[in-house]
Amino acid sequence: MVNRRKFIHASAFGSLGILFSKIAAGNQVPFTIKGKPVVISTWDAGLEANKAAWEILHKGGRAVDAVEKGVMVTEASQNCCVGLGANPDRDGFVTLDACIMDEFSNCGGVAFLERIKHPVAVARRVMDKTPHVMLVGSGAQQFAIAEGFLLEEQKLSEQAQAAYEEWLKNSQYKPPVINIENLPVRQAGKQGHGPFAPHKLSNGEWNHDTIGMVAMDTHGNMGGSCTTSGAGFKMRGRIGDSPIIGAGLFVDNEVGACTATGQGEDVIRVAGSHSVVELMRQGLSPEVACKKVIERIVKIKKAKAKDIQVAFLALNKKGQAGAFALHPGFRYAIKSGDKETLVTSKSWFNE
Ligand code: SD4
């Protein structure tokens, strides 16, 4: 996580060696992305996660190994939206969703998983060691324990505890609304209390959201991962897009990879990440492909699109990265060569 003042914004993306636009503290400084290996991931926490992925990528390791290790950094941190310290469901239980996919279209996912620190690592075992793609709930937990994962005690982060207590004051038991008020709230430097409410930490940094990560290794092979606690104060048993291959994540080694963040119900509705990859297959750039799927969501949701946030982040086989969000506020982290930066996505609405 980084202090907002240190954020580096960019809006133009390109192929290996193409010019990026970097705006730091009001200055626009051009720089070049060096190409593969490259790793990109959602939100501010992606900066730290990318470093762990890079440890594998720069030594010539596989993208799938890099994206697993990368997002484990976020899972291990105490935060609002990923890992065991995250926002609980309405009944006070943290339930985790994650998935992973490699260059051979092998994939694995876990959903509604409780008391396991690294759901993405369990998803990897589902991929590597079972004939299945997805395990959920107690079955996923049973499998994790059989694989040697420890059954941890749930320990909400300070922020998650505060957010849950705030939510309990009204505890409205209705379908989750992912309120984009959170984004202006964050921009205005205030605490939020919605399902994805960001919280300012004591050191002045902002807490973060779901992490989705996609990478291309030195061999040009791709991999992706996604992990989350889902919507805060969700109904018990609710599963979002993040553990679902084709929704929260999709990798096609011939074309590229995409991951999603935001209101999972609306990502699932358009088979979001798969749709982005299919549009890249037709020749669209990552940013345009992401925008087209956002446009599809806008058409479906009509006026309600104002009330939700969804963002897609994609990488194509040429090493071009791009993103597009419904609302302003989505950022992603990119690392390639000696460059490491946080990028602000373009958005459909520009309020
Ligand atoms: C979900 N897509 O469970 C996830 C949440 C998310 O940033 O991405 N938060 O719907």
Looking at 95, 210, 227, 344, which residue is catalytic? 210
Residue 349, pLDDT > 80, answer yes
CB under 8 Å to 214, separation ≥6 — which residues? 39, 40, 41, 67, 222, 223, 224, 249, 251, 257, 258, 259, 313, 314, 315
SS3 helix, strand, coil % of the chain, rounded to 5? 30, 25, 45
Residue nearest to atom 10 of ligand 1 (CA): 264
309 CA to middle of ligand 1, Å?
9
Q: What pTM value is reported for the model? A: 0.86
Confidence band for 82, pLDDT divided at 50, 70 and 90: confident
Given strand 339-344, what is the order of strands in its sheet? Answer: 134-136, 107-113, 96-101, 222-228, 211-216, 38-42, 331-336, 339-344
Residue nearest to atom 8 of ligand 1 (CA): 261
Note the pLDDT of residue 248.
98
pLDDT, tens digit (0-9, with 9 covering 90-100), for 303-315: 999 888 899 999 9
pLDDT, tens digit (0-9, with 9 covering 90-100), for 168-222: 988 875 544 444 444 444 544 444 444 454 444 444 444 447 999 999 999 999 9
Q: Nearest 5°: CA angle at 172, between 171 and 173?
A: 105
Note the pLDDT of residue 34.
55
85 CA to middle of ligand 1, Å?
16
If you average pLDDT over each of 33-47, 98-112, 324-338, which comes out highest? 98-112
340 CA to middle of ligand 1, Å?
24
Which ligand 1 atom is at minimum distance from the Cα of 234? 3
Tell me if residue 210 is catalytic. yes
In 55-143 the beta strands, taken as DSSP E runs, fall at: 96-101, 107-113, 134-136
* Residues whose beta carbon lies within 6 Å of some atom of ligand 1: 81, 196, 209-210, 228, 230-231, 240-242, 261-264
The one-letter code for the residue type at 58 is: H
148 CA to middle of ligand 1, Å?
28
Query: Could you give the CA distance from residue 195 to residue 193 in angstroms, rounded to a whole number?
Result: 7
| Mean pLDDT of the region 220-242 | 94
The one-letter code for the residue type at 16 is: L
Pick from 241, 269, 297 the residue to mutate for probing ligand 1's pocket: most ligand atoms within 8 Å of its CB: 241
Give Cα separations from 57 to 28, 100, 314 (angstroms). Answer: 29, 16, 18
What structural domains and CATH numbers belong to the chain?
A: 4-82+158-350 (3.60.20.30)
